[in-house]
Amino acid sequence: GAGVSQSPSNKVTEKGKDVELRCDPISGHTALYWYRQSLGQGLEFLIYFQGNSAPDKSGLPSDRFSAERTGGSVSTLTIQRTQQEDSAVYLCASSLRLAGELTRYYNEQFFGPGTRLTVL
Amino acid sequence: GNSVTQMEGPVTLSEEAFLTINCTYTATGYPSLFWYVQYPGEGLQLLLKATKADDKGSNKGFEATYRKETTSFHLEKGSVQVSDSAVYFCAPSGFQKLVFGTGTRLLVSP
């Protein structure tokens, strides 16, 4: 597709329920990132996938959060037993890894429109 | 690890005023530097970037110069417009990921 897509665009759930958020990165982009943007806050890094390497999960706030990336493309972020503090906009981004001298361009990320999660 | 500090907002300006949004960073190695912008109701988009010292990134009248000696990447525009009202994020690249600042909200009034 032309850009990064995310679904659903909005999700309202009840406290304690599990939710799944989906991200379709730009075709050919090998890196995929998840961020969280809470009201009045900046972007909080959650998790990063690069090719077949082990994901960098250092930003996941608790073990209720997990993510997977199937076939090096689509990614799903799962939040189990949602809490009200999980309410936020969840953003996905992808980037293209370039070789050699161009590697410093690697981190130009392209963002999706986000999923707004509301936990009641 | 990398970190970034942006000036707190909101920054409120009148149309045609001069804009500066300060950004300083700490980084391991030699990062690339980015400014992203988020217009109301829209997703983040890249505004400009610089990949080495003294490089100047520019786009839509905005400029930022990579100052390695002061570890800064301040965003400037000579004459802001109402349509520039948005949240601006400074982001140095770390190893395989960007580190975003908290964002600075710019409000431009006619």
Q: What is the pLDDT of residue B2?
A: 74
Instruction: Please list every residue in chain A whose beta carbon sits closer than 8 Å to the beta carbon of residue B36.
Output: 111
Chain A nearest-CA distance from B17, in A, is 25
Report how far residue A83's alpha carbon sits from residue A15's, in angstroms, rounded to the nearest whole number.
Answer: 5
Phi/psi of residue A101, each to 5°?
A: -65, -15
Distances (CA, A) of B1 to B7, B15, B31, B32, B98: 20, 38, 12, 15, 11
From first to last of its 110 residues, chain B has per-residue pLDDT tens of 678 899 888 999 999 999 999 999 988 777 889 999 999 888 899 999 998 899 999 999 999 999 999 999 999 999 999 999 999 999 887 656 778 888 999 999 99
Neighbouring residues of B74: CB distance < 8 A, sequence distance ≥ 6: B20, B21, B22, B23, B64, B65, B67
Residue type for position A82: T
Q: B89 near B44, Cβ under 8 Å?
A: yes
Q: In this complex, is the C-beta atom of B95 within 8 Å of any C-beta atom belonging to chain A?
A: no
Helices (H) and strands (E) in chain A, counts: 0, 10
Q: What is the pLDDT of residue A71?
A: 81
Cβ distance of B32 and A105 shorter than 8 Å = yes
Cβ distance of B32 and A107 shorter than 8 Å = yes
Mutate to test the interface with B, among A36, A108, A116 (most CBs of B within 10 A): A108
Pairing of strands B62-65, B56-59: antiparallel
Cβ distance of A56 and B49 shorter than 8 Å = no
Report how far residue B91's alpha carbon sits from residue B62's, in angstroms, rounded to the nearest whole number.
Answer: 16
Cβ distance of A45 and B49 shorter than 8 Å = no
Q: A23 near A83, Cβ under 8 Å?
A: no
Instruction: Please list every residue in chain B whose beta carbon sits closer than 8 Å to the beta carbon of residue A114.
Output: 43
3-state secondary structure of A85: helix
Of the candidates A104, A111, A113, which has its C-beta nearest B51's C-beta? A104
Q: pLDDT tens, A35-90?
A: 999 876 778 889 989 888 888 898 999 999 999 998 878 999 999 999 999 999 99
Q: What is the pLDDT of residue A43?
A: 86
- How many contacts, defined by CB atoms under 8 Å, are there between A and B? 57
Q: What is the pLDDT of residue B48?
A: 95
pLDDT band at A6 (very low <50, low <70, confident <90, very high): very high
pLDDT band at A100 (very low <50, low <70, confident <90, very high): low
CA B104 to chain centre: 8
Q: What is the pLDDT of residue A52?
A: 80
Output A120 or B32, whichever has higher pLDDT.
Answer: A120
